[in-house]
């Protein structure tokens, strides 16, 4: 009985923390080119999955232009290449990222 109570408490704790971790994703500061590239990949992947599409074959490059990071990437979706562009000022919160999907 004690084991079941502990298990239920653990499950409740883990499931109640999920919305908090999703919110904190936007509160992360982008400090490096690789961090922006990973964020851009994750957000664009979520975009396609919300539309019930399965993206695959991610490729991207990131450059620094003065005080900005710029990521240009692409996914394949239904055998069509979709282009992704993300840009942010270095040191800003991820929620300030400009993202375009074409």
Burial of 68 (0-12, 13-18, 19+ CB in 10 A): middle
Q: Is residue 90 part of a domain?
A: yes
- Whole-model pTM: value is 0.74
Distance (Å) of CA 22 to CA 16, 19, 35? 11, 5, 17
The per-residue pLDDT for range 38-70, each reduced to its tens digit, is: 999 999 999 999 999 999 999 999 999 999 999
Q: Is residue 60 part of a domain?
A: yes
Number of separate domains in the chain? 1
**Which CATH number do you get for residue 37?**
3.10.450
Q: Is residue 10 part of a domain?
A: no
Could you give the CA distance from residue 77 to residue 59 in angstroms, rounded to a whole number? 13
Q: Is residue 78 part of a domain?
A: yes
Q: Is residue 82 part of a domain?
A: yes
Expressed as residue numbers, the domain containing 68 is: 30-101
């Amino acid at each position: 009985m004690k084991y079941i109570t502990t298990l239920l408490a653990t499950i409740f704790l883990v499931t109640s923390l999920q919305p908090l971790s999703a919110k904190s994703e936007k509160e992360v500061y982008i400090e490096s080119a690789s961090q922006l590239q990973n964020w851009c990949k994750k957000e664009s992947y979520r975009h396609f999955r919300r539309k019930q599409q399965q993206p695959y074959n991610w490729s991207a490059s990131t450059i620094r232009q003065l005080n900005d990071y710029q990521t240009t990437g692409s996914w394949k979706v239904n055998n069509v290449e979709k282009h992704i562009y993300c840009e942010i000022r270095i040191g800003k919160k991820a929620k300030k990222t400009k993202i375009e999907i074409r």
